[in-house]
Chains A and B, each alone.
Chain A
Amino acid sequence: MTESLFRTSALIRYNALLRLRDPAQMVSFMVIPMILMVLFRPLYARAIGAGQVQAVTGQLVMFSIFAMAIVGYALLLEREWRTWDRLRVSRAARAELVVGKAVPVFLMLLLQQFVLIIYGILVIGLPVPRLPGLLLLAMSIWGFTLLAMGSMMATLMRSWGDMIIAADLVAITFSSIGGTLLPVSLMPGWARAIAPFSPGYWGLSIIRAGVQGHPAGVLRAAPVCLAIGIVTGAIATYRLAHGWGRGHLL
């Protein structure tokens, strides 16, 4: 194993430990949507016929956006505990630090989606996805988008309190306008018009296409999700490198 890989794997291992020892947030972001799926399913069934897909994917996307708070928490803790600067003085390169931080959080975001899909199949009656590979691709792209958006939010917020408020505001706004609570087709005209400007809309599109095994739907939403991820990820990286904390080097 090269030196760089060895350092990166050490960072991933210890960042994963940090996340695993603080599981409350992630557990709540899995349990609450499970409850809401059960409650909302009859409503969707009456409103749009096939309620399982909307109940599962809507709650999944909504609470995956809430889970951006976990990304922010992971980053803000480094600042609160002043450990980020300590890592920067180590031999690890900036890319190694970023990858070491991002991978465990990304895997947690994937795990959340995976658990909710399995729950949807077993409890809500979601049809088993025809193309598991396509669904995994859709979940990965959406996970990357969430990771980047959460990182950007963390680097723009001054405190954990600000982060919680921003994460809740963003999650509720993006997910509701994006059609995760009320299907877009049932929204008033003005809301339907602005829905595509919400990342939640594209998250719901790509996850739903993945669940239903529609490659064209995944391909249509993927560039938008990736673009959002790249832009917000670039802002986060810039902030990390310029003025996040007292230092001016990543």
Chain B
Amino acid sequence: MLQATDLTKRYDDIRALDGFSLEVADGEIVGLVGHNGAGKTTFVEVASGLVRPDGGTVLIDGLPPAEVRGQIGISPQHMALYKSLTVREHLELYGALAGLRRAALRSAVDELAQALRLTGFLNRQTGLLSGGQQRRTQAATALIHRPSLLLMDEPTAGADPETRQALLDVVKQRAAEGTAVVYTTHYLNELSDLRATIAVAAHGRVIARGSATELLNELPGEVRVTGGGEDVRVSTTNSTATLLEVLRERQQPVDLVELRDPTLDDLYRSLAASHD
């Protein structure tokens, strides 16, 4: 579906993209993570056709983004809503621009409003909505035409749990129907919920790519034993063996034993630190 190869983009003396490559298959959710300034948003803008790269190529089903704009749905990082238009008017506008008409448009609006819990304030101007409601409205404008590629740039930033769950459920559903999704976030637990594959970006390129399991297998977990005024923490790739060894060597009573598997946060910190 999406094939980005060796993208470069420079803003003055800042290299926003520096050899950025990423492939996303139909029905796949790719969680794109990385520090601020890693190139995530620039990549989303290039992939959507909004920004022209200095080098490299982006192809969506073999075509450049400008030729398949109707197939792309984008939810930008920043809020991009008309404050004096209602939620319904937003959905109808973006639906109409994507070619939906009359009954099909009405049905798409109702379905999405229900899925994203927007039904109660469809006729309210977006300037009067809470941050979470605006987030859901923005996401809905990206989803209304059932795009085959969904680009979501930190769609849950600052959102409440209700908003987050509603969005994740809809994204999962769309992916199950075959939509390719690029989902940037700093909330790594969302990627577990989405069962997303992971791409870690740093300094304008992807530095690690794979399933969460593949990437986490390479990281150590932690064994923690406390008791008798001591708190012992050991980093290990074989927690059971390490725990047995620690317990065997201890002379003091044990109050607490903790085995912690590596998390996506550990992966993110480890990869980002190794590329700083």
> DSSP class of B's interface residues: helix, strand, loop or mixed?
loop
A247 interfacial contact with B, CB 8 Å: yes
Using Cβ atoms and an 8 Å threshold, which residues of chain B touch A90? Answer: 69-70, 94, 97-98
Question: How far apart sit A85 and B78, CA to CA, in the bound complex (Å)?
Answer: 11
A92-B97 in contact given A18-B84, A82-B80, A86-B76 (Cβ < 8 Å): yes
Chain A CB within 10 Å, residue with most, of B78, B96, B97, B99: B97
Interface stretch, picked from A9-17, A64-72, A193-201, is A9-17
Binds A, one of B46-54, B190-198, B219-227, B256-264: B46-54
CB of A7 within 8 A of CB of B97, answer: yes
B61 at the A interface (CB under 8 A) = no
In whole Å, how far is B251's beta carbon from the nearest beta carbon of chain A?
63
* B-contacting residues, A201-246, CB 8 Å: 246
B79 surroundings in chain A (CB, below 8 A): 82
- Assess whether B10 is interfacial by the CB under 8 Å rule: no
- A40-58 interface mask toward B, CB cutoff 8 Å, 1 = contact, 0 = none? 0000000000000000000
Q: Are B85 and A14 in contact (CB under 8 A)?
A: yes
How many residues on A have C-beta within 8 angstroms of the other chain's C-beta atoms? Answer: 25
The 0/1 profile, CB within 8 Å of A marked 1, for residues 217-243 of chain B is: 000000000000000000000000000
What residue in chain B is nearest A246 (Cβ atoms)? B51
Contact between B89 and A89 (Cβ–Cβ < 8 Å)? no
- Docked Cα-Cα span, A86 to B44, in Å, equals 12
Q: Are A82 and B97 in contact (CB under 8 A)?
A: no
Q: Is the CB of A91 within 8 A of B81?
A: no
B51 x A248 contact (CB < 8 A): yes
Residue A32 at the B interface, CB < 8 A? no
The 8 Å CB contact of A86, one of B74, B83, B101, is B74
B contact residues around A246 at 8 Å (CB): 45, 51
Cβ contact of A14, chosen from B70, B81, B89, cutoff 8 A: B89
| A162, CB-defined interface residue at 8 Å | no
A206 nearest CB across to chain B (Å)? 34
A91-B98 contact in complex given A17-B89, A85-B50, A86-B76, C-beta closer than 8 Å:
yes
Q: Is the CB of B93 within 8 A of A14?
A: yes
Chain B's closest residue to A100 (CB) is B97
A92 CB contacts on chain B under 8 angstroms: 97
Q: Is A190 an interface residue (CB 8 A)?
A: no
Within the complex, the shortest CB–CB distance from B61 to chain A, in Å, comes to 15
Q: How far is the CA of A84 from the CA of B89 in the complex (A)?
A: 16
Interface string of A17-31 (1 = CB under 8 A from B): 110011000000000
The yes or no answer to B72 lying at the interface (CB within 8 A) is yes
A85 cross-chain contacts in B, Cβ below 8 A: 50, 76, 80
Closest chain B residue to A14, Cβ basis: B93
Question: B66: CB under 8 A from chain A?
Answer: yes
Instruction: Name the CB-closest residue of A to B141.
Output: A86
Identify A81's interface contact among B49, B82, B97, CB under 8 A.
Answer: B82
> In the complex, are the beta carbons of B93 and A10 less than 8 A apart?
yes
The smallest beta-carbon distance between A104 and chain B, in angstroms, is 13
Q: Is the beta-carbon distance between B81 and A249 smaller than 8 angstroms?
A: no
Give 19 new A-B contacts, CB below 8 A, not counting A6-B101, A14-B85, A249-B50. A10-B92, A10-B93, A14-B89, A17-B85, A17-B89, A18-B84, A81-B81, A81-B83, A89-B50, A89-B69, A89-B74, A90-B69, A90-B70, A90-B98, A91-B69, A91-B70, A246-B51, A249-B49, A249-B52
The residues of A with any CB-CB pair to B shorter than 8 Å are: 3, 6-7, 10-11, 14, 17-18, 21-22, 81-83, 85-92, 246-249
Q: Chain B interface (Cβ within 8 Å of chain A)? A: 45, 48-52, 66, 69-70, 72, 74, 76, 78-85, 89, 92-94, 96-99, 101, 141
